[in-house]
Amino acid sequence: MRVHDKKEFDRQNCFGQGQANTAYAQYFIGNSYLNPLTDPKVCAVSLANVTFEPGCRNHWHIHHAKSGGGQLLICTAGSGWYQEEGKPAVSLEPGMVITIPAGVKHWHGAKADSWFSHIAVEVPGEETANEWLEPVDDASYAALESPAGEK
């Protein structure tokens, strides 16, 4: 469900917006916010609520691992996009879970007119690393929002 109004989004975003995601800002178009839900010193599984302002998206990236690894996205509020290289974009809505195996090039973020939030789960694995790649170009992103591109 698209959520334009920030107050309404905050009401729906039950895991909280968190702080500006300054550590990874260079890999995002627009502003994102990070609210860690687990402490890596206590828990082997990293969970964080990531909030995207309207139009915000991360760059293409790959979660590498010798074994295991990858990422899960648990959509919690607003409306967004997920796309794997060479495949059509998928519309993300609250309650959806996206499983991203290690080695898959992908991106995710908010729709142009909606706030969006998901819990990012870093799947444990051996020799895991994240490789950040090129930004999602504006023309490709805008095409998703056109009536013909809307999923």
In sequence order, what E strands does 79-133 have? 80-84, 90-92, 97-100, 106-110, 116-122, 125-126, 129-132
Q: What's residue 134's pLDDT? A: 98
Choose among 124, 101, 119, 118: nearest CA to 45.
124
Within 8 A by CB and 6+ apart from 94, the residues are: 1, 12, 75, 76, 77, 78
CA distance 122 to 135: 21
Count other Cβ atoms within 10 Å, centred on residue 142.
12
CA distance 45 to 149: 35
Structure tokens at 59: 């760059």
Kindly give the confidence (pLDDT) of every residue in the chain, 151 residues in length, as a single tens digit, with 9 standing for 90 and above. 899 899 999 999 999 999 999 999 999 999 999 999 999 889 889 999 999 999 999 999 999 999 999 999 999 999 999 999 999 999 999 999 999 999 999 999 999 999 999 999 999 999 999 999 999 999 999 999 765 545 4
Choose among 150, 117, 124, 125: nearest CA to 31.
117
